[in-house]
Every structure is written in structure tokens, then in C-alpha cells.
Amino acid sequence: MSDTTTPDLTHAEIEALADHPGSFWQLVTATQADLDGFDHVNNAVYLKWLDACVWAHTRLLGLDEKTCMDMERGMAAVRHEIDYIASARLGDQVAVFNWIVSNDGRLRCSRRFQMVRLSDRKTILRAKTDYVSTNLTNGRPVKMPEVFKTKYAVMLPEAAAD
């Protein structure tokens, strides 16, 4: 959940656009720098927006960069699956929703995403990202610390996300 709202839609109306309840979300607005040669948001920008949403959620959970660096632990993306459904264009405001859908309490967790263009309330992207608990000093997978097990609790079970 984000505290940001748009003048056209209330907080509750934006949340109602999500595929599933209980998401964390934030709003982004497409800028000129986000566009490709066809005047659409470039596909790499969508991945940047997904990552920004994850970091905003992670910080809200109390696991900011400094905390993770102090523990020498972080969750590293190891796989992205992105379905591009429609395009965003200059000035479009987009809600980026995410849910933690799995956490094995040992090494792996996954998130699902949805992006909705607010002007017409159309879903423009769905994605899934898999993460592995990583030692930030040497880059190797490592058993997740206890705080990752509790803070990265499942918000929506994987089976419910399908």
C-alpha cells in the first residue's frame, strides 16, 4: 500500500484495480526520458519501475539498503518473467502493484506484479520475479536471516496468484 494518490482516483479506487487484495503499490508517471523511438515507455523502464516498487516495499518493511549491508545479506533477483500487455506513453500515470507470493524460509522467495494505466484502468503488464538470499560480500547464495523470513512474509499464496 502506498500513501500516494492521484487527483482522479482515490486510494481505495486504485487498490481496487489490483488483481488481488493486500498489495503494496506505488504510482509512477511516464516521462520523456522513459520513452523509446516509438514514443512508448521502453521495456527496460518497466523493469526499473518494478525494481523501484520492490525497494519502496522493502524499505517500508524496515530492510533498507544500510540494514541489509550491515547484515551483509540481501535478496538478489535471479529470474524475471514479464508479460507486456499494452503500452504506457508520455504523461501516463501507472500504478505498480506487487505481492510476495512465496518464501521458503531458507533461500528463495518470489513476487508477482501488475501495472495498471490509470487513465483507462487497463492492466498493461504482469510479471513475476524470483529472488535468492545472497551474501552481499561474496555474491553467493546463503540461508536467509530470520528477519527475511518474517519481513518477507507471503502476502498472497502463489496458487492464488494464478
- Quick check: 7 pLDDT over 60? no
**What are the φ and ψ backbone dihedral angles of 160, each rounded to 5 degrees?**
-75, -20
- Average pLDDT score over residue span 112-126: 97
pTM of the model: 0.92
At 84-102, the pLDDT tens digits run 999 999 999 999 999 999 9
What's the Rg (C-alpha) of the chain?
16
- Judge whether 34 and 42 are in contact, CB under 8 Å: yes
Sequence-separated (6 or more) residues with CB below 8 Å from residue 77? 51, 129, 130, 131
At 48-71, the pLDDT tens digits run 999 999 999 999 999 999 999 999
Please report the domains of the chain, with CATH numbers, ordered by start residue.
Answer: 11-161 (3.10.129.10)
CA distance 49 to 59: 15
At 136-155, the pLDDT tens digits run 999 999 999 999 999 999 99
Q: What is the mean pLDDT of the chain?
A: 94
CA distance 39 to 76: 31
